[in-house]
Amino acid sequence: MFDSMSKMSRLSSEQGEKIPEVRASAPRNRTIRLTEEETERLSEKICPMPCRKVSADEVSDCVIMGDMLAVMEFLPDSFADAVFLDPPYNLTKDFNGNVFRKRGDGAYFEYLMSWLPKIVRLMKENAAVYLCCDWKCTAACYEALRECGLNVRNRITWQREKGRSADDNWKNACEDIWYAVKGDEPIFHGDAVRMKRKVIAPYRTDGVPKDWNEEGNGRYRLTGASNFWDDLTVPFWSMRENTDHPTQKPEKLLAKLLLASTEAGGVVFDPFGGSGTTAVTARKLGRKFTSIEQSREYCCLTLKRLEMEETDSAIQGYEDGVFWERNSQPPKKQENHSISEDDELFLK
Ligand X SMILES: C[S@@+](CC[C@H](N)C(=O)[O-])C[C@H]1O[C@@H](n2cnc3c(N)ncnc32)[C@H](O)[C@@H]1O
Per CB under 6 A, which of residues 88..107 are in contact with ligand X?
Answer: 88, 95, 98
| Residue 248 engages ligand X in binding (rule: CB under 6 A) | yes
Return the HEC string of 280-347: HHHHHCCCEEEEEECCHHHHHHHHHHHHHHCCCCCECCEECCEEECCCCCCHHHHHHHCCCHHHHHHH
Give all strands (DSSP E) within the chain, no chain letters: 62-65, 80-85, 93-95, 98-100, 123-133, 151-159, 174-181, 195-198, 204-205, 208-209, 213-215, 218-223, 228-229, 267-270, 288-293, 318-319, 322-324
Is the Cβ of residue 118 or residue 326 nearer to ligand X in the bound state?
118
Q: In angstroms, how far apart are the furthest CA atoms of the chain?
A: 69
Only segment of 121-129, 148-156, 160-168, 241-249 that touches ligand X (CB under 6 A): 241-249
C-beta of residue 71 within 8 angstroms of C-beta of residue 270 = no
Only segment of 152-160, 184-192, 240-248, 317-325 that touches ligand X (CB under 6 A): 240-248
| Residue 295 engages ligand X in binding (rule: CB under 6 A) | yes
CA distance 109 to 101: 14
CA distance 113 to 143: 10
Q: How far is the CB of 268 from ligand X (least distance, A)?
A: 12
Per CB under 6 A, which of residues 45..74 are in contact with ligand X?
Answer: 67-69
Q: How far is the CB of 337 from ligand X (least distance, A)?
A: 21
Per CB under 6 A, which of residues 193..212 are in contact with ligand X?
Answer: none
DSSP class of 49: P
C-beta of residue 53 within 8 angstroms of C-beta of residue 76 = yes
Question: Residue 339 CB: number of other CB atoms within 10 A?
Answer: 18
Residue nearest to ligand X (CB): 274
Is the Cβ of residue 67 or residue 309 nearer to ligand X in the bound state?
67
| 3 state DSSP class of 165 | coil
Q: How many residues bind ligand X (CB under 6 A)?
A: 20
Is the Cβ of residue 219 or residue 296 nearer to ligand X in the bound state?
296
Question: Residue 152 CB: number of other CB atoms within 10 A?
Answer: 16
| Residue 274 engages ligand X in binding (rule: CB under 6 A) | yes
Only segment of 192-200, 219-227, 247-255, 314-322 that touches ligand X (CB under 6 A): 247-255
Is the Cβ of residue 49 or residue 139 nearer to ligand X in the bound state?
49
Only segment of 7-15, 169-177, 288-296, 319-327 that touches ligand X (CB under 6 A): 288-296
Per CB under 6 A, which of residues 298..317 are in contact with ligand X?
Answer: 298
- Contact residues: ligand X, CB under 6 A: 67-69, 86, 88, 95, 98, 245, 247-249, 272, 274-275, 277, 292-295, 298
